[in-house]
Amino acid sequence: MQHTTIGVDLAKSVFEVGISVRPGSVDVHRRLSRKRLSEFVATQPPSTFVMEACGSAHHWARTFRKHGHEAVLLPPMQVRPYVSRNKTDRTDVKGILEAFRNTDIRPVPVKTVAQHQLGALHRVRSGWMMTRTARINAVRGLLREVGIFIPVGARNVVPRVAELIEDADTEIPFAFRDILNDMCADIRHLESQIRKAERHLEVLARETPMVERLRSVPGVGLLTATALVAFVGDVQRFPSGRHFASYLGLTPRERSSGSRRRLGRISKRGDTYLRMLLVHGARSVLQAAQSKSTPDNLYLHGLKLRGLCGHNKATVAVANKMARIIWSVWKHDHDYRPLLKPAA
């Protein structure tokens, strides 16, 4: 029996469906509502449903799999070149089916509900952190206009502003004090929400054994370990640590031709949030390496690179090394085992 491939252009309420029985052609077009799409999926024989990895795609992929179908999610940026001429729902479905035929395009793994739970906490916490930073910068800027400067450090802002508001001899206008008081209350509320999200992450981390294994790697803490589990998913799809580091954008960008190979700066592809966490973790590794009398190979590697190429380049190189170690710990399901050597 011939296998059927069905392309679905996802939307909020109206979905374009293209059924392909012969490779390279769309034999049937259907335009379905959300309810009718669920009914359509339930009545179809086992098929392959192909979608772009966009909003609600993981939910629909899990739904299709419950009905015995195979669900494939493709990266949207790699599907776009296959949409020819004008962009419509029909041409989008055609482009999805054409991109599915390209074996060089690697599908996006379908996330579980547990991964979405961890990812949602990270996204919400990041939003609160951005809002908190914006509030702090606004308070600093407003006070500079009246000649008041607050020392560097986020922890210095709220206590210092509280002192200025209570002091009647400061140059802050009285109508301005209420605004500053409200902004400081917003900052305190955001900080309490951030701590609440971190407590939820800590609870979920204790329920996930792999998070504890990843936290055994130097420079990997609660945020990095839970973010890796949430956004990477199955590490078995990476054949080597270099592939994993490349997925995170920590390997050099290559522009080679003929017999000449050119390697440039890191590609910065992949998830920006994960790369940021790993780079911050690498900074902590370099800082801790200075105070360790018997550091392991990772610390010695970072100190050697810092002496050769400077602090910033060494930080990225250590982040690359950490990504490879994380891949090994995750793939082989064991804790990090350092190779201790006496410091020079």
Q: Which residues contact 66 (CB under 8 A, 6 or more apart)?
A: none
What is the pTM assigned to this prediction?
Answer: 0.87
C-alpha torsion sign, points 172, 175, 181, 182? negative
Mark out the alpha helices in 49-112 (DSSP H runs): 57-66, 76-79, 89-100
C-alpha to C-alpha distance for 262 and 184, rounded to whole angstroms: 51
5-100 to CATH, choices 3.40.50.300, 3.30.420.40, 3.30.390.10, 3.40.190.10: 3.30.420.40
In the chain, where the domains are located: 5-100, 113-207, 210-254+262-332
76-108 per-position pLDDT tens digit: 999 999 998 888 999 999 999 999 999 999 999
Q: What is the pLDDT of residue 195?
A: 96
Judged against a pLDDT cut of 60, whether residue 168 lies above it is answered with yes
C-alpha to C-alpha distance for 103 and 164, rounded to whole angstroms: 64
Looking up tokens 């380049």 gives 313
- Average pLDDT of the residues of the chain: 90
User: How do beta strands 70-74 and 263-266 pair?
Assistant: unpaired
C-alpha to C-alpha distance for 19 and 49, rounded to whole angstroms: 9
Q: CA of 61: how far to CAs of 57, 213, 293, 323, in Å?
A: 6, 29, 51, 29
- Strand order from edge to edge, sheet including 14-20: 28-33, 14-20, 5-9, 48-52, 70-74
226-254 per-position pLDDT tens digit: 999 999 988 999 999 999 999 999 988 88
Structure tokens at 311: 């602090």
